[in-house]
Structure 1
Amino acid sequence: MSKPTRSDERCVRRGGQGQLAADQADLGRGRADPPRHSKRLAQPSQDQPLMRKTPNRRLKVFQTQLGFYDSVVAAPSQAAALRAWGTRQNLFAEGAARLAADNAAVAAALDHPGTPLRRAVGSKAPFSLEPDLPDAPTTPRRNGAAPAKTAKAPAGSSKRPPDRRALDAAEARLGAINDRRVAEEADFDRRREALEAENERARQAWAMARAEAERAVERARAAYRERGG
């Protein structure tokens, strides 16, 4: 085998220098691998769910009669409506309260959620925060007829009132049952709100974990393609 001449060594050096120049040119054109630990802002993927506030609970509009006024209130439950009306009596169990069916009343109550609106009994006026005073009831008279006089009990006839202890006891039992149901509904409301809050926290944690996993997939896919995959 012949020994390499000086001209051959010069060709080798030129070739090495040419390759070095080509590598530097590639670096200048950005063909070099990016650093592994480069930081970039996290961008959510298109199908990532947007963070949103906990949705408000759906309101219902309930109606009852309180004294000389009809009242409506927008509340999430019967127990919440009773609290807004300021009563511990279960008006719904007694049939004295119900869902409102009048569209105008429903719209007015939804404009003031949690605040009872009123109007005079028998009035067609809209429900409001400061309704008009109800009309005083009048007793119709016949033409020319004098007002009826209240008959007085004859003197000496003192009749003892009937014993109502049994009635009082029955009403007390009914009141206790109604109070227990109101307390149960209030407890259900608190537990439902706690579950909704827990569900929202879990949804947010899932969304963040999914976004991070998607970014990891994008990085791995880009590295795979750079290696010729």
Structure 2
Amino acid sequence: MKIPEFQHHKQVGKKLTIVTAYDAMFARIVEQAGLEVILVGDSLGMVVQGHPNTLTVTMDDMLYHTRMVARATQSALVIGDMPFMSYQISVEEALRNAGRFVQAGAAAVKIEGGQIMADRVRAMTRMGIPVMGHVGMTPQSVNQSGGYKVTGKGAEDARRIVEDVKALEQAGVFAIVLECMPALLAKELTELLSVPTIGIGAGPHCDGQVLVLYDLLGLFDDFVPKYVRPY
């Protein structure tokens, strides 16, 4: 799948389905099952490496796993999840590391954060690197937020998220992940935006859904989100 086709799904009302994969075997299985989008998530820090959060994941870790997934796929859209401190320091650092993901085989990258990340998004897209945004509950900010909590329940928090997605869309993202927020807020954002919204713990109204494959298969029981139904 290419980026224009991904975005066309929203225009025609066709739901998008995304799962994570971290190695060649699972990437091949996922693609053969008919899924067209794979996120090489920094969630590998928890489900593969055994850490309590994603903050220890490095660029080397992510590039290693991205190469494996990219080698195993034929037509799936591979998105690389930029790890903690690989894009926060400066626009230049963000652009350099995004380029390394593309060199490793990713067709796009994902970063967390709203208005404060708009300049990074703008720089990457100008250089031809598609960017997926991520707002709401952002796992790389877990120490600041105090845990994995639902966001956007209060009016002020919801307004901030609205401003975040508007800034990201204006900066050029091709899609935005909405994580752990009330379904009605996610519905409002989905109707507001012209780019696809991808929900995770954000209700049924988004343009698509993303899940961690290990959660979906019931392989990871250290932390099981309420919205996951293992198969």
TM-score calculated relative to the size of structure 1: 0.20
TM-score calculated relative to the size of structure 2: 0.20
Q: Which has the greater radius of gyration?
A: 1
More strand by share: 2
